[in-house]
Every structure is written in structure tokens, then in C-alpha cells.
Copies of this chain bind each other. A is one copy, B any other.
Amino acid sequence: MYSTSVNLLSKTENTMQDILFDFISKYISLTEDEKHAIVSLDIFRLVKKGTILLKEGQKSPYEYFVLKGCIRKYYITDGEEKTTAFFTEMEGVTPHCAIHNTPSEYFISCVEDTILTVAHTDMGVELFSKFPKFEIMCRVLSEELLARQQIDFDEFKTSSPEQRYLNLLQNRTDLIGRVPQHQLASYLGITPQSLSRLRARIMEKSKA
């Protein structure tokens, strides 16, 4: 389905599996049996920078989990790209369209060459019935994510664009380096011009 731009991993595959298992082990402990079950799902993919994983209008049943790299979620309205989220190492997305089986309202593409897991939503169902442990992990994970997301949302609501940018500087320094300014701008809810100005303003202040 992903033609040329999405490939199976080869040498790095073992390393990637271990990264995933390390992550999972924070939530549940895995038997060899369970590890094999995961490996046999064949979900590891290497995706080239620029690849579009999900397009607006598409009905896609896949969910993603980033092991290394960065993917980006964006809308296109009136021909304008509006970036609303980035997902980097150890972050996952389950697109709305995958849950509700409706056409997607947004795009997901790769900001950099990215290693991720691509899971069909049905895989979960299978896995859950065989290994109820995973059900627990997924519940805990989404509750955590939900709480985290709510705090981010709160912070966004209660701060000005400038504060939001300063926040980003403190908490997500990585993003500022690896992501183009105009994408960061809409992520902060402002135009690229405003972000430029705001950065200049901050520079002025810190000089004085």
C-alpha cells in the first residue's frame, strides 16, 4: 500500500523492536510469547521524509507510533496548511478516522525520515483477546495521554502566543530545531509573520 516510500526495516529492525519493548515494559511486563506475537504482526516501517501517511478524505484504519523521527498532523483550509501537532519519539497517533471509520479531516506526513509502527486497528482487537495485558496498557496509555493533552490544551488557552513560544523553547527545544518556522507558527496558533516578529521582540528584550 505504501509503494516505494515505506519500507520494511532490515538491520535496524532488532534495535527498533527493543526500543518498543523498552517502552512497553514501562506499563506491562512481556513474556517471550507476547514479544513474538508483536513481532509477528510485522508493524515496523521506515518512512522517508515528506511521505504522506494519511490524506484528507481518506478512510484509513491505521494508527502510528513513532520510534525515531517526527511526523506532523495538518489541515488544509482555503489552500492554507495548518499544522496542529507533531509526534516525535515514543509518541503515538490514532487518527480520528481510524476510530470512527470516516474520511479523514487532516493529513499526516513525515517531517524527517522516521521509523514507526503502523498498526491496523483490528490488530488491537486480536491482540487484546489473546493478551488482555495489552488492553490494560492501552487504557493506561490513553488515560495518560488524555491527561497530558488536557494540560497542554489548558496551557494553550491560558497563555499568549509569546508565552506559548517561550514555553516551547523551554519544554520542546527539539521541535524548534527540527521543524520549519511556518509549521511551528500554526502549531502556536499564529501566522509565520507573527512568529518572526515575536522572535525579534524577544531578542530585543533579552538584549536590553
One complex includes copies of this chain to the number of: 2
Q: Which secondary structure dominates chain A's binding surface?
A: helix
Asked if A40 is at the interface of the complex by the 8 Å CB criterion, the answer is: no
Query: Which B residues lie within 8 Å of A96 (CB)?
Result: 147, 150-151
- How distant is the Cα of A188 from the Cα of B110 in the complex, in angstroms? 31
- 1/0 per position for A122-145, CB-CB distance to B under 8 A? 000000100010011011001111
Query: Which B residues lie within 8 Å of A100 (CB)?
Result: 147
- 1/0 per position for A44-81, CB-CB distance to B under 8 A? 00000000000000000000000000000101010000
List residues of A whose CB falls within 8 A of some B CB.
Answer: 73, 75, 77, 82, 84-85, 94-96, 99-100, 105-106, 128, 132, 135-136, 138-139, 142-147, 149-154, 156-158, 186-187, 189
